[in-house]
A and B are shown apart, each in its own frame.
Chain A
Amino acid sequence: MQTLENTSRRSFMKLAAAAGGGLFLGFNWTNSSALPVVVEAGQVAAGSVNFNSYLSIGIDNIITIISPNPEIGQGIKTAFPMVVAEELDADWKLVKTVQGNLDSGAFERQVTGGSGAVPHSWERLRKAGAIARHLLVEAAANRWKVPALECTTDNGKVFHKASGKSLTYGELAEDASKLTAPKEVKLKDEKDFKLIGKSVRNVDNHNIATGKPLFGLDFYREGMLFAVIQRPKAFGFKLKSVDSKAAKAMPGIVDVVTFENSVAVVGKSTWQVQKAREALKIEYEKQADLESSEDHNRIFAQLMQNGEGTVRRKNGDVESAFKNAAKVITSEYQCPFLAHSPLEPMNFFAHVKEDGVELVGPTQTPDRARAEAAKIAGVPPEKVSVEITRQGGGFGRRLSADFVTEAVHVSKLVKAPVKVIWTREDDMTGGTYRPAVRYKFEAALDKTGQMIGYKLRGVGMNAGNSTREDNFPSGSVDNLLIDSVDHKSPITTGPWRAPITNFLAYAEQSFLDEVAEAAGKDPIQFRLELLEKAKKKPVGEVKYDIERMIAVIKLAAEKSNWGKKKGVHQGFSVYFSHRSYVAQVGEVVMEKGKPVLKNIIAAVDCGIVINKSGSLQQVRGGVVDGMGHAMYGNMTFKEGAPDQRNFDGFRLIRMNEIPEVDVHFVENGISPTGLGEPALPPTGGAVANALYKATKQRLRNQPFIQEPSFKGIS
């Protein structure tokens, strides 16, 4: 398996052309109605295209596949080509993958977010491979003068069993390129998959393990300048005045420029601009409230009590249900702001020229980067090119384009190619955090322990709708009211891996544990009863698949040997997000009087697993991430300024703190859904519920380590 990294589309075409002709299959990754078109090498090289992406087969048997979506660690650059290669019956050892650059004429959804790439492209990728295979078979049949039906394919070759003949795809590519692509093509029966479902190693393993320049921060160009930016030190400040005299006089400094509320120090090396930035004398003035964490707690309490909520879902008569309840359980849960902390900090390269802009760097939304750059540079979007690099994590942070617009501003002002670099401190104090949220849950039980009423209010800091009103247990409770209140804070927020559900799932699953206990029921049995109810007598619309949820619950119960392990305290959690279903069991054992989280068992339904190895990693990584931030993650503020500035203050989970993570996939043959996010949301609940079983202490606020009750048990 070879990898071509950062090959621009043009050079890819050249490469393809240089291979001396062959089959170029343009296929639409995004629009299932568009027909695949076969074009000749010459056409591709000339760029005369009105379709989208290319799969090429060279006469040297090398198959090149462009993966258009940004790779941030979710494994798309390996998974996408696997799907094409499966239907093509390609020899995986001869597949090269290329990261596509932004090309909106070609691709509709070049976004990494919402765990959406695989469900979006599954059929399209399969068709692309299947059509190419069909053409190769037809070319072989023509050459051998045998019916195409008598030909078979395997491992990059077409075979004719009766005559014992075979030809490689490379030998057939040119002939195949002259044929007309079929409108419809039969896809493989899933039981015949040879590659999908296997463990395939990440296509960039070798380049990563040998330190090749893959990431945005690794992009250097002759004559490129470096810039660091001083942003307001507190949320709520704006720039008043800048004295840059001392900074400008420092070695290696080319210029200091100001735009919006930012001051950019531009120079010849990263270290020089960092040092010179310290010499800036900047005055700020207040333009909004300078909020501290104590203010947030006060605002949470006020809005929880008196805030005017936006009703998100209402079923039945909640008021009567609570009035008639035999038992009412009420509980509140709160989470802090969080930085995303991708290990590669924000950075971007921009070169604003007379007639356009060149952008290179790590972004989850290259189209947004282009649109913003075009506005600032005053050029039409088609004059902006975006090269997508490999990205050192994203977690939602790179969905924003703030770091791109900075690079464009600076390049425009200094009239030179510039790379803007954020230090870790810039990254951590620069905002677009996971919003802080507080929830209040109320449940009404009747005499038999049935949940007859359910209320949830979410209060968020720039969280928008902090609930997911149609998720479980909605649909299973006769009387239900879900609303949310949002506080507009000067502290900026943005999507953070599994937006909202990264915290809501924990809060809800912990609360349901409380309700089950109050009802005197086993936590799993309690949930299964609710799901049975939703199945038999659904209340309002049910927007999750009840059977799939039941299946992961049962699988987790079976694999964890639920309730039957002596000396092991188990906690349960299940959640549906981003189209996938994940149930988890946390296991705590008391050692020397202290609880130790030993194991998390995860049962996952993401439909068909494309890459076993990559999928296992996504689930383990999601669990580790979910646990780490639930345990330790915390951003606090004093008068608008973040208290945590680097990894000494903002604690991330380390190897000595992880439990074992035991992953099981449901095999149901359903079309695959994404895995970048869904494993994370249930983890906090599984951990908190297991710790509760062991200690009888509920953990209702994150981070857990700061809970008074946690101090008693740790």
Chain B
Amino acid sequence: MALLKLTINNRSYSADVAEDTPLLWVLRDNLGLVGTKYGCGIAQCGACTVHLDGKAVRSCVLPVSAVGNGKVTTIEGLSEKGDHPVQKAWDEVDVVQCGYCQAGQIMTAAALLKEKPKPTDEEIVATMSGNLCRCGTYHRIREAVKVAASKSK
């Protein structure tokens, strides 16, 4: 066990956990940030996607000790009022069915748009194909990313 300091959503946290604990479980079990979901534990489904220094990472396979001084953003911290263009587009397009995968989808999409504000259709599909949606909301996920891209500055 080790007392680790973390910066998440621009706030400081500390957690007394084994160093190999995946960031996902520290977020959920220790810090009460349960918006980040567990789906597979092997970086196959993307439900656990968070941003580490602005880049999308799979928190289920990222040992918390590897975070270091990196800045973590979770779905709870993507925007203050839930009004990030991607979050707004998700509502406008009415993407969700069960909703379980959507935090991960939104975080993946937000990281893509940060890197490429105007992605091509192919880039959207290539990036978003890393995230599973068991309900099959893919058509609207694709549309919502386009809507968000069209509205970002």
A binding-site residues for B, Cβ under 8 Å: 71-75, 199, 201-202, 204-206, 208-215, 217-218, 220, 226, 251, 269-272, 275, 341-345, 390-395, 423-425, 613-614, 617-618, 620-625, 628, 646-648, 652-658, 660-661
Choose from B1, B18, B38, B136 the contact partner of A620 (Cβ within 8 Å). B136
B87 within 8 A of A: yes
Q: Contact between B135 and A73 (Cβ–Cβ < 8 Å)?
A: yes
Residues in chain B near residue A201, CB distance under 8 A: 91, 94
Residues in chain A near residue B137, CB distance under 8 A: 617, 620-621
Beyond A215-B100, A271-B25, A646-B40, is A393–B129 a contact (Cβ under 8 Å)? Answer: no
Residues in chain A near residue B116, CB distance under 8 A: none
Beyond A73-B135, A271-B25, A344-B37, is A617–B94 a contact (Cβ under 8 Å)? Answer: yes
Q: Contact between A209 and B91 (Cβ–Cβ < 8 Å)?
A: yes
Q: Contact between A624 and B138 (Cβ–Cβ < 8 Å)?
A: yes
State how many angstroms separate the Cβ of A565 from the closest Cβ of chain B: 21
Q: Contact between A217 and B99 (Cβ–Cβ < 8 Å)?
A: no
CA distance A351 to B39 in the complex (A): 25
**Most chain A CB within a 10 A radius of its CB, from B1, B47, B74, B90:** B90
B1-50: which residues lie under 8 A (CB-CB) from chain A?
1, 17-18, 21-22, 25, 28-30, 32-42, 44-45, 47
CA distance A620 to B141 in the complex (A): 12
Q: Contact between A613 and B42 (Cβ–Cβ < 8 Å)?
A: no
Q: Contact between A620 and B96 (Cβ–Cβ < 8 Å)?
A: no
Q: List 18 A-B contacts (CB under 8 A).
A: A75-B97, A208-B103, A210-B78, A211-B33, A215-B37, A220-B32, A390-B98, A424-B42, A613-B94, A617-B94, A617-B135, A620-B136, A620-B137, A620-B140, A647-B45, A648-B42, A652-B132, A658-B138
B142 within 8 A of A: yes
Residues in chain B near residue A655, CB distance under 8 A: 125, 128-129, 131, 138, 141-142
Residues in chain B near residue A647, CB distance under 8 A: 40, 42, 44-45, 132
B117-142: which residues lie under 8 A (CB-CB) from chain A?
125-126, 128-142
Q: Contact between B36 and A343 (Cβ–Cβ < 8 Å)?
A: no
Choose from A213, A272, A391, A622 the contact partner of B98 (Cβ within 8 Å). A391
Q: Contact between B136 and A392 (Cβ–Cβ < 8 Å)?
A: no
Q: Contact between B74 and A211 (Cβ–Cβ < 8 Å)?
A: yes
State how many angstroms separate the Cβ of B140 from the closest Cβ of chain A: 7
Residues in chain B near residue A73, CB distance under 8 A: 96-99, 135
Choose from A205, A210, A275, A393 the contact partner of B134 (Cβ within 8 Å). A393
Choose from A212, A220, A395 the contact partner of B35 (Cβ within 8 Å). A212
Q: Contact between B132 and A617 (Cβ–Cβ < 8 Å)?
A: no
Chief secondary structure at chain B's binding surface = loop
Number of inter-chain CB pairs below 8 Å: 185
CA distance A395 to B136 in the complex (A): 12
Beyond A210-B75, A269-B29, is A220–B99 a contact (Cβ under 8 Å)? Answer: no
CA distance A27 to B76 in the complex (A): 38
Residues in chain B near residue A71, CB distance under 8 A: 98
Q: Contact between A424 and B41 (Cβ–Cβ < 8 Å)?
A: yes
Choose from A211, A226, A341 the contact partner of B103 (Cβ within 8 Å). A211
CA distance A217 to B99 in the complex (A): 13
B59 within 8 A of A: no
Residues in chain A near residue B126, CB distance under 8 A: 656
CA distance A573 to B4 in the complex (A): 58
Q: Contact between A621 and B135 (Cβ–Cβ < 8 Å)?
A: yes
B49-89: which residues lie under 8 A (CB-CB) from chain A?
74-76, 78, 82, 87
Q: Contact between B136 and A423 (Cβ–Cβ < 8 Å)?
A: no
B149 within 8 A of A: no
Q: Contact between A343 and B47 (Cβ–Cβ < 8 Å)?
A: yes
Q: Contact between A226 and B41 (Cβ–Cβ < 8 Å)?
A: no
Beyond A211-B74, A423-B41, is A199–B138 a contact (Cβ under 8 Å)? Answer: no
Beyond A341-B134, A652-B132, is A218–B44 a contact (Cβ under 8 Å)? Answer: no
State how many angstroms separate the Cβ of B147 from the closest Cβ of chain A: 13
CA distance A657 to B135 in the complex (A): 14
CA distance A423 to B1 in the complex (A): 23
Residues in chain A near residue B100, CB distance under 8 A: 215, 342-344, 392-393
State how many angstroms separate the Cβ of B49 from the closest Cβ of chain A: 12
B101 within 8 A of A: yes
Q: Contact between B40 and A424 (Cβ–Cβ < 8 Å)?
A: yes
CA distance A648 to B74 in the complex (A): 25
**Most chain A CB within a 10 A radius of its CB, from B18, B45, B137, B139:** B139
Closest 7 CB pairs of A and B: A211-B35, A392-B100, A73-B98, A624-B136, A211-B75, A73-B97, A208-B99
Choose from A208, A390, A648 the contact partner of B44 (Cβ within 8 Å). A648
Residues in chain B near residue A205, CB distance under 8 A: 90-91, 94-96
Extra pairs beyond A75-B97, A395-B134 (16, CB < 8 Å): A72-B98, A205-B94, A206-B91, A208-B90, A209-B87, A210-B35, A210-B78, A213-B35, A271-B29, A343-B100, A424-B39, A614-B94, A617-B140, A623-B136, A628-B136, A647-B45
Q: Which residue of A lies closest to B44 (CB)?
A: A647
CA distance A426 to B39 in the complex (A): 12
B106 within 8 A of A: yes
CA distance A269 to B27 in the complex (A): 11
CA distance A199 to B93 in the complex (A): 10
Q: Which residue of A lies closest to B47 (CB)?
A: A343
Residues in chain A near residue B35, CB distance under 8 A: 210-213
Q: Contact between B18 and A393 (Cβ–Cβ < 8 Å)?
A: no
Q: Contact between A202 and B96 (Cβ–Cβ < 8 Å)?
A: yes
Residues in chain A near residue B140, CB distance under 8 A: 617, 620
Residues in chain B near residue A345, CB distance under 8 A: 38-39
Residues in chain A near residue B74, CB distance under 8 A: 211
CA distance A625 to B136 in the complex (A): 6
State how many angstroms separate the Cβ of B149 from the closest Cβ of chain A: 16
State how many angstroms separate the Cβ of A614 from the closest Cβ of chain B: 8
State how many angstroms separate the Cβ of B94 from the closest Cβ of chain A: 5
CA distance A395 to B37 in the complex (A): 19
CA distance A616 to B97 in the complex (A): 11
Choose from B30, B98, B139 the contact partner of A393 (Cβ within 8 Å). B98
CA distance A75 to B98 in the complex (A): 8
Q: Contact between B18 and A271 (Cβ–Cβ < 8 Å)?
A: yes
Q: Which residue of A lies closest to B25 (CB)?
A: A271
Beyond A209-B90, A210-B75, A270-B25, is A661–B98 a contact (Cβ under 8 Å)? Answer: no
State how many angstroms separate the Cβ of B60 from the closest Cβ of chain A: 10
Residues in chain B near residue A275, CB distance under 8 A: 18
**Most chain A CB within a 10 A radius of its CB, from B82, B130, B131, B134:** B134
Beyond A343-B47, A648-B42, is A210–B76 a contact (Cβ under 8 Å)? Answer: yes
Residues in chain B near residue A424, CB distance under 8 A: 39-42
Q: Contact between B30 and A269 (Cβ–Cβ < 8 Å)?
A: yes
Q: Which residue of B lies closest to A201 (CB)?
A: B94
Beyond A208-B103, A209-B87, A621-B135, is A656–B96 a contact (Cβ under 8 Å)? Answer: no
State how many angstroms separate the Cβ of A78 from the closest Cβ of chain B: 9
Residues in chain B near residue A271, CB distance under 8 A: 17-18, 21-22, 25, 29
State how many angstroms separate the Cβ of A269 from the closest Cβ of chain B: 4
CA distance A421 to B87 in the complex (A): 29
Q: Contact between A620 and B87 (Cβ–Cβ < 8 Å)?
A: no
CA distance A73 to B102 in the complex (A): 12
State how many angstroms separate the Cβ of A482 from the closest Cβ of chain B: 31
State how many angstroms separate the Cβ of A15 from the closest Cβ of chain B: 23
